[in-house]
Amino acid sequence: MGSHSDPGLPIGVFDSGVGGLTVLSALQRALPKEDFLYFGDTARVPYGSKPLEMVRRFAWEISGYLIHQGVKAIVVACNTASSAALPELSGSLSVPVFNVLEPAVAEAKAVGGQVGLIGTEGTIKSGSYQKQFDEEIWSKACALFVPIVEEGLWADAVAKRVADYYLHDAPKDLGTLILGCTHYPFLKPVIGEVLPGVRLIDSAEATAKVVKAGIKKNPAGAGSVKHFVTGDLEAYTVLARRLGVEVQQAERVPLDEL
Protein backbone atom coordinates (compact mmCIF):
# COMPACT_ATOMS: atom_id res chain seq x y z
CA MET A 1 0.00 0.00 0.00
CA GLY A 2 1.64 3.19 1.17
CA SER A 3 3.06 5.03 -1.79
CA HIS A 4 0.78 3.17 -4.21
CA SER A 5 -2.16 5.23 -2.98
CA ASP A 6 -0.52 8.47 -4.18
CA PRO A 7 -3.10 9.98 -6.59
CA GLY A 8 -0.27 11.54 -8.59
CA LEU A 9 0.89 8.14 -9.83
CA PRO A 10 -0.04 6.94 -13.33
CA ILE A 11 -2.65 4.32 -14.12
CA GLY A 12 -1.23 1.09 -15.52
CA VAL A 13 -3.07 -0.46 -18.47
CA PHE A 14 -2.11 -3.77 -20.02
CA ASP A 15 -3.05 -5.95 -22.94
CA SER A 16 -1.54 -8.75 -24.99
CA GLY A 17 -0.82 -6.26 -27.75
CA VAL A 18 -2.40 -3.21 -29.35
CA GLY A 19 -6.07 -4.07 -28.75
CA GLY A 20 -6.05 -2.39 -25.34
CA LEU A 21 -5.22 0.91 -27.02
CA THR A 22 -8.98 1.33 -27.59
CA VAL A 23 -9.36 1.13 -23.80
CA LEU A 24 -6.46 3.54 -23.28
CA SER A 25 -8.07 6.03 -25.69
CA ALA A 26 -11.42 5.78 -23.90
CA LEU A 27 -9.64 6.29 -20.55
CA GLN A 28 -7.84 9.36 -21.90
CA ARG A 29 -11.11 10.86 -23.12
CA ALA A 30 -12.76 10.20 -19.74
CA LEU A 31 -9.74 11.22 -17.63
CA PRO A 32 -7.69 13.80 -19.56
CA LYS A 33 -5.62 14.75 -16.53
CA GLU A 34 -4.37 11.27 -15.72
CA ASP A 35 -1.00 9.85 -16.73
CA PHE A 36 -0.82 6.31 -18.09
CA LEU A 37 1.64 3.47 -18.49
CA TYR A 38 0.52 1.16 -21.29
CA PHE A 39 2.03 -2.32 -21.42
CA GLY A 40 1.60 -4.35 -24.64
CA ASP A 41 2.91 -7.91 -24.44
CA THR A 42 3.57 -7.96 -28.18
CA ALA A 43 6.20 -10.70 -28.01
CA ARG A 44 3.61 -13.14 -26.67
CA VAL A 45 0.48 -11.96 -28.46
CA PRO A 46 -2.08 -13.47 -29.02
CA TYR A 47 -3.32 -14.62 -25.61
CA GLY A 48 -6.65 -15.87 -27.00
CA SER A 49 -5.26 -19.15 -28.29
CA LYS A 50 -2.98 -19.94 -25.31
CA PRO A 51 -3.78 -22.13 -22.30
CA LEU A 52 -5.44 -20.03 -19.59
CA GLU A 53 -2.89 -20.96 -16.92
CA MET A 54 -0.16 -19.54 -19.14
CA VAL A 55 -2.11 -16.28 -19.60
CA ARG A 56 -2.67 -16.15 -15.85
CA ARG A 57 1.10 -16.27 -15.34
CA PHE A 58 1.65 -13.49 -17.90
CA ALA A 59 -0.94 -11.33 -16.12
CA TRP A 60 0.94 -11.74 -12.83
CA GLU A 61 4.30 -10.92 -14.41
CA ILE A 62 2.98 -7.76 -16.04
CA SER A 63 1.07 -6.63 -12.97
CA GLY A 64 4.23 -7.02 -10.94
CA TYR A 65 6.18 -5.01 -13.49
CA LEU A 66 3.65 -2.18 -13.49
CA ILE A 67 3.50 -2.05 -9.69
CA HIS A 68 7.29 -1.95 -9.63
CA GLN A 69 7.17 1.01 -12.05
CA GLY A 70 4.74 2.73 -9.67
CA VAL A 71 1.05 2.81 -10.57
CA LYS A 72 -2.00 3.67 -8.49
CA ALA A 73 -4.36 1.30 -10.32
CA ILE A 74 -4.25 -1.44 -12.95
CA VAL A 75 -6.65 -1.84 -15.85
CA VAL A 76 -6.59 -5.30 -17.43
CA ALA A 77 -7.49 -4.16 -20.95
CA CYS A 78 -7.54 -7.66 -22.40
CA ASN A 79 -10.53 -9.96 -22.32
CA THR A 80 -8.51 -13.15 -22.22
CA ALA A 81 -6.34 -11.94 -19.33
CA SER A 82 -9.44 -10.69 -17.55
CA SER A 83 -10.98 -14.13 -18.00
CA ALA A 84 -7.85 -15.94 -16.83
CA ALA A 85 -6.67 -13.93 -13.87
CA LEU A 86 -9.39 -11.71 -12.67
CA PRO A 87 -10.75 -12.70 -9.27
CA GLU A 88 -7.24 -13.69 -8.20
CA LEU A 89 -5.53 -10.42 -9.23
CA SER A 90 -8.27 -8.21 -7.81
CA GLY A 91 -8.07 -9.95 -4.47
CA SER A 92 -4.28 -10.02 -4.19
CA LEU A 93 -2.88 -6.64 -5.21
CA SER A 94 -2.49 -3.55 -3.11
CA VAL A 95 -3.88 -1.30 -5.87
CA PRO A 96 -7.37 -1.37 -7.38
CA VAL A 97 -7.64 -3.69 -10.38
CA PHE A 98 -10.17 -2.98 -13.13
CA ASN A 99 -11.09 -5.15 -16.09
CA VAL A 100 -13.01 -4.92 -19.34
CA LEU A 101 -15.37 -7.79 -18.64
CA GLU A 102 -17.55 -6.69 -15.74
CA PRO A 103 -18.33 -3.17 -17.03
CA ALA A 104 -19.53 -4.56 -20.36
CA VAL A 105 -21.68 -7.18 -18.63
CA ALA A 106 -23.22 -4.57 -16.32
CA GLU A 107 -24.09 -2.36 -19.29
CA ALA A 108 -25.59 -5.27 -21.23
CA LYS A 109 -27.77 -6.15 -18.23
CA ALA A 110 -28.89 -2.54 -17.90
CA VAL A 111 -29.91 -2.40 -21.56
CA GLY A 112 -31.78 -5.69 -21.31
CA GLY A 113 -33.25 -7.79 -24.11
CA GLN A 114 -31.68 -10.89 -25.63
CA VAL A 115 -27.89 -10.63 -25.16
CA GLY A 116 -25.18 -11.80 -27.55
CA LEU A 117 -21.39 -11.96 -27.25
CA ILE A 118 -18.55 -11.98 -29.78
CA GLY A 119 -14.86 -12.38 -28.95
CA THR A 120 -11.71 -14.42 -29.55
CA GLU A 121 -11.83 -18.18 -29.28
CA GLY A 122 -10.11 -18.02 -25.87
CA THR A 123 -12.62 -15.59 -24.45
CA ILE A 124 -15.66 -17.45 -25.79
CA LYS A 125 -14.37 -20.88 -24.70
CA SER A 126 -13.45 -19.68 -21.22
CA GLY A 127 -17.15 -19.00 -20.55
CA SER A 128 -16.15 -16.05 -18.40
CA TYR A 129 -18.79 -13.72 -19.88
CA GLN A 130 -21.48 -16.36 -20.22
CA LYS A 131 -21.39 -17.27 -16.53
CA GLN A 132 -22.23 -13.70 -15.54
CA PHE A 133 -25.74 -14.17 -16.97
CA ASP A 134 -28.60 -16.22 -15.56
CA GLU A 135 -29.92 -17.19 -18.98
CA GLU A 136 -27.97 -18.69 -21.85
CA ILE A 137 -26.62 -16.05 -24.22
CA TRP A 138 -25.78 -16.39 -27.92
CA SER A 139 -22.02 -16.28 -28.51
CA LYS A 140 -19.61 -16.58 -31.40
CA ALA A 141 -15.82 -16.70 -31.72
CA CYS A 142 -14.70 -14.39 -34.55
CA ALA A 143 -11.04 -15.28 -35.17
CA LEU A 144 -10.62 -13.06 -38.25
CA PHE A 145 -11.77 -9.80 -36.67
CA VAL A 146 -8.47 -9.07 -34.88
CA PRO A 147 -6.22 -9.53 -37.94
CA ILE A 148 -8.66 -7.52 -40.07
CA VAL A 149 -8.44 -4.61 -37.65
CA GLU A 150 -4.65 -4.88 -37.34
CA GLU A 151 -4.40 -4.88 -41.13
CA GLY A 152 -6.36 -1.61 -41.19
CA LEU A 153 -9.23 -3.15 -43.17
CA TRP A 154 -12.13 -2.45 -40.79
CA ALA A 155 -13.93 -0.27 -43.37
CA ASP A 156 -13.12 -2.48 -46.40
CA ALA A 157 -15.50 -4.86 -48.17
CA VAL A 158 -13.44 -7.68 -46.62
CA ALA A 159 -14.67 -6.69 -43.16
CA LYS A 160 -18.30 -6.61 -44.32
CA ARG A 161 -18.02 -10.08 -45.88
CA VAL A 162 -16.41 -11.49 -42.73
CA ALA A 163 -18.97 -9.85 -40.44
CA ASP A 164 -21.74 -11.42 -42.56
CA TYR A 165 -20.02 -14.79 -42.25
CA TYR A 166 -19.84 -14.68 -38.45
CA LEU A 167 -23.09 -12.91 -37.63
CA HIS A 168 -25.61 -14.21 -40.18
CA ASP A 169 -26.96 -16.79 -37.72
CA ALA A 170 -27.40 -14.43 -34.76
CA PRO A 171 -30.88 -14.76 -33.20
CA LYS A 172 -33.50 -12.53 -34.84
CA ASP A 173 -34.54 -11.07 -31.47
CA LEU A 174 -31.00 -10.06 -30.40
CA GLY A 175 -31.23 -6.76 -28.51
CA THR A 176 -27.64 -6.26 -27.32
CA LEU A 177 -24.26 -7.49 -28.53
CA ILE A 178 -21.20 -7.34 -26.29
CA LEU A 179 -18.03 -6.63 -28.26
CA GLY A 180 -15.92 -8.91 -26.06
CA CYS A 181 -12.56 -8.01 -27.56
CA THR A 182 -10.77 -4.70 -27.37
CA HIS A 183 -10.11 -4.66 -31.14
CA TYR A 184 -13.78 -4.77 -32.05
CA PRO A 185 -14.81 -1.12 -31.54
CA PHE A 186 -13.20 -0.43 -34.94
CA LEU A 187 -15.74 -2.78 -36.49
CA LYS A 188 -18.81 -1.09 -35.00
CA PRO A 189 -20.00 0.46 -38.31
CA VAL A 190 -19.72 -2.84 -40.20
CA ILE A 191 -21.32 -4.88 -37.40
CA GLY A 192 -24.08 -2.25 -37.21
CA GLU A 193 -24.76 -2.77 -40.93
CA VAL A 194 -25.10 -6.53 -40.49
CA LEU A 195 -27.15 -6.26 -37.28
CA PRO A 196 -29.16 -3.03 -37.61
CA GLY A 197 -31.02 -2.04 -34.47
CA VAL A 198 -28.83 -4.12 -32.13
CA ARG A 199 -27.22 -2.16 -29.31
CA LEU A 200 -23.44 -2.71 -29.43
CA ILE A 201 -21.64 -2.66 -26.06
CA ASP A 202 -18.14 -1.27 -26.40
CA SER A 203 -16.17 -2.54 -23.42
CA ALA A 204 -13.59 0.25 -23.77
CA GLU A 205 -16.21 2.94 -23.12
CA ALA A 206 -17.93 0.92 -20.40
CA THR A 207 -14.61 0.31 -18.63
CA ALA A 208 -13.56 3.97 -18.79
CA LYS A 209 -16.75 4.97 -16.96
CA VAL A 210 -16.12 2.46 -14.17
CA VAL A 211 -12.46 3.47 -13.80
CA LYS A 212 -13.41 7.14 -13.70
CA ALA A 213 -15.82 6.48 -10.86
CA GLY A 214 -13.38 4.28 -8.96
CA ILE A 215 -9.99 5.98 -8.82
CA LYS A 216 -8.46 8.78 -6.80
CA LYS A 217 -8.14 11.62 -9.32
CA ASN A 218 -4.78 13.13 -10.18
CA PRO A 219 -5.05 16.85 -9.38
CA ALA A 220 -2.19 17.84 -11.69
CA GLY A 221 -1.46 15.10 -14.23
CA ALA A 222 -0.08 15.94 -17.66
CA GLY A 223 -2.13 13.44 -19.64
CA SER A 224 1.07 11.63 -20.60
CA VAL A 225 1.38 8.04 -21.85
CA LYS A 226 4.44 5.85 -21.71
CA HIS A 227 4.35 2.59 -23.66
CA PHE A 228 6.18 -0.62 -22.73
CA VAL A 229 6.30 -3.49 -25.20
CA THR A 230 7.94 -6.90 -25.11
CA GLY A 231 8.28 -7.21 -28.89
CA ASP A 232 9.67 -5.01 -31.64
CA LEU A 233 9.34 -1.29 -30.93
CA GLU A 234 9.08 -0.10 -34.52
CA ALA A 235 6.45 -2.67 -35.47
CA TYR A 236 4.44 -1.57 -32.43
CA THR A 237 4.67 2.10 -33.33
CA VAL A 238 3.55 1.42 -36.91
CA LEU A 239 0.63 -0.74 -35.79
CA ALA A 240 -0.46 1.74 -33.11
CA ARG A 241 -0.46 4.54 -35.69
CA ARG A 242 -2.64 2.45 -37.99
CA LEU A 243 -5.11 2.29 -35.08
CA GLY A 244 -4.95 6.05 -34.54
CA VAL A 245 -2.49 6.20 -31.61
CA GLU A 246 0.73 8.21 -31.90
CA VAL A 247 3.38 6.64 -29.68
CA GLN A 248 5.55 9.41 -28.24
CA GLN A 249 7.40 7.63 -25.47
CA ALA A 250 8.14 3.93 -25.64
CA GLU A 251 10.50 1.35 -24.23
CA ARG A 252 11.14 -2.29 -25.05
CA VAL A 253 11.06 -4.65 -22.08
CA PRO A 254 12.84 -7.94 -22.87
CA LEU A 255 10.85 -10.90 -21.56
CA ASP A 256 13.61 -11.99 -19.21
CA GLU A 257 13.35 -8.64 -17.39
CA LEU A 258 9.73 -9.32 -16.47
Catalytic residues: 78, 181
Closest distance of CB 113 from a second copy, Å: 29
Q: Which is nearer to a second copy, 49 or 92 (CB)?
A: 49
Smaller CB separation from a second copy, 44 or 227: 44
Burial of 3 (0-12, 13-18, 19+ CB in 10 A): exposed
For residue 228, list its beta bridge partners.
Answer: 39, 251
Count of residues in the chain: 258
What are phi and psi for residue 36, nearest 5 degrees?
Answer: -130, 145
Name the residue among 30, 25, 39 with its Cα closest to residue 74. 39
Can the peptide bond before residue 46 be classed as cis, meaning omega within 30 degrees of 0? yes
Query: Among residue numbers 232 through 251, which ones bind a second copy (CB under 8 A)?
Result: 232, 235
Q: How far is the CB of 237 from a second copy (least distance, A)?
A: 14
Query: Considering beta carbons, is residue 45 or 179 the nearer one to a second copy?
Result: 45
CB 89 within 8 A of CB 61: no
Q: Would you give the binding string for a second copy spanning residues 29-68, x where CB under 8 A is met?
A: -------------xxxx---xxx--x--------------
The b-or-e profile of 201-229 (16+ CB within 10 A means b, else e) is: bbbbbbbbebbeeebeebeebeeebbbbb
**Residue 147 or 171 having the CB closest to a second copy:** 147
Q: Which amino acid is at 91?
A: G
Burial of 163: CB neighbours in 10 Å, binned 0-12, 13-18, 19+: buried
Q: Which of residues 159-218 bind a second copy (CB under 8 A)?
A: 161-162, 165
Candidates 25-33, 212-220, 230-238, 243-251 — which segment interacts with a second copy by CB under 8 A?
Answer: 230-238
Cβ of residue 209: shortest distance to a second copy, in angstroms?
Answer: 32
Classify 16 as helix, strand or coil.
Answer: coil
Mask 132-151, x = binds a second copy (CB under 8 A)? -----------xx-xxx-xx
Nearer to a second copy, 45 or 101 (CB): 45
Q: How far is the CB of 161 from a second copy (least distance, A)?
A: 5
Listed in order, strand segments (DSSP E) in 144-237 are 174-179, 199-202, 225-229
**Binding residues for a second copy (CB under 8 A):** 42-45, 49-51, 54, 121, 143-144, 146-148, 150-151, 153, 156-158, 161-162, 165, 231-232, 235
